Chains A and B, each alone.
Chain A
Amino acid sequence: QLHLQESGPGLVKPSETLSLACSVSGGSITSSTSYWGWIRQPPGKGLEWIGTFYYTGSSYYNPSLKSRITMSVDRSKNQFSLELSSVTAADTAVYFCARRSGDYVRGWYFDLWGRGTLVTVSS
């Protein structure tokens, strides 16, 4: 069964770059039917979609974060990563990685999620 696990530092200083990885076990990140994505939840707030990408490189980012986001994949490790630059306290959140499935008929949805990892931006 496919399992996702986020990892990365829990504390990042303002203006620095937040870097997280998502390890995929029980399946391949190069699956032809899967997109991969990041979603976050600031304390006391709702979920916010960060971005989604396919292992070959096509990607879709939240317009409000696009200028600061880099998503990449490491096929050798079967994991994908998120980098968010120039962070501020507003980027403090629980960050989730997820698999996006679906198609033009059923639509797209996130059918498998990691437990999330809390990242705090503070000096």
Chain B
Amino acid sequence: QSALTQPASVSGSPGQSITISCTGSSSDIGGYNFVSWYQHHPGRAPKLIIYAVTNRPSGVPDRFSGSKSGTTASLTISGLQAEDEADYHCSSYTSTDTHVFGGGTKLTVL
């Protein structure tokens, strides 16, 4: 199974919006609405912020939103805040009953 493709880094200023893409294939993102996104501050436990493409767990601000088109999923963070600076990882369930992750994207808040 091949890893999903994410940009290595993105950046934005406080208050701005950024979007992180996650590209897969018809065997994972394109075949299921089972995309999830994780926020990871190094040294801490990763945190689930989006599941089933668009759903936010309780407690996750609505500044975080997810979408999908074809084989590409996207995470948008609006109203950037300093504490949003972290690594973001996408993941998808696959046709072979496995999970695949992206390479991770480092978000820098300028």
**B52 contacts chain A at the CB level, 8 A cutoff:** yes
Main secondary structure, interface of B, reads loop
- Within the complex, the shortest CB–CB distance from B64 to chain A, in Å, comes to 14
Q: Evaluate contact between B91 and A47: CB separation under 8 angstroms.
A: yes
- Among B67-110, those with CB < 8 Å from A are 89, 91, 93, 96-104
Subset of 18 A-B contacts with CB under 8 Å: A37-B99, A39-B101, A47-B91, A49-B98, A52-B99, A60-B98, A62-B1, A96-B46, A106-B55, A107-B34, A107-B36, A107-B51, A110-B36, A110-B38, A111-B51, A113-B46, A113-B47, A115-B45
- Within the complex, the shortest CB–CB distance from A99 to chain B, in Å, comes to 10
Q: Evaluate contact between A47 and B36: CB separation under 8 angstroms.
A: no
Which B residues form the contact surface with A (CB < 8 A)?
1, 3, 6, 32-36, 38, 43-48, 51-52, 55, 57, 89, 91, 93, 96-104
Report Cα–Cα, A116/B40, bound state, in Å: 11
Q: Evaluate contact between A107 and B33: CB separation under 8 angstroms.
A: yes
**A26 contacts chain B at the CB level, 8 A cutoff:** no
Selected contact of B52 from candidates A47, A106, A114, CB within 8 Å: A106
**A46 contacts chain B at the CB level, 8 A cutoff:** yes
Interface size on A, residues (CB 8 A): 28
Which A residues form the contact surface with B (CB < 8 A)?
4, 37, 39, 45-49, 52, 60-64, 96, 98, 102, 106-116
For B46, B48, B55, B96, which residue has the most chain A Cβ atoms within 10 angstroms?
Answer: B46
Selected contact of B97 from candidates A46, A60, A112, CB within 8 Å: A60
Q: Evaluate contact between B51 and A46: CB separation under 8 angstroms.
A: no
Report Cα–Cα, A39/B1, bound state, in Å: 15
Report Cα–Cα, A115/B52, bound state, in Å: 24
Report Cα–Cα, A98/B46, bound state, in Å: 9
Report Cα–Cα, A98/B99, bound state, in Å: 13
Question: Which residues of A lie under 8 Å from residue B43 when comparing CB positions?
Answer: 115
Selected contact of B99 from candidates A96, A108, A113, CB within 8 Å: A108
Question: Which residues of A lie under 8 Å from residue B1 when comparing CB positions?
Answer: 62-64
Selected contact of B36 from candidates A63, A109, A114, CB within 8 Å: A109
Q: Evaluate contact between A113 and B45: CB separation under 8 angstroms.
A: yes
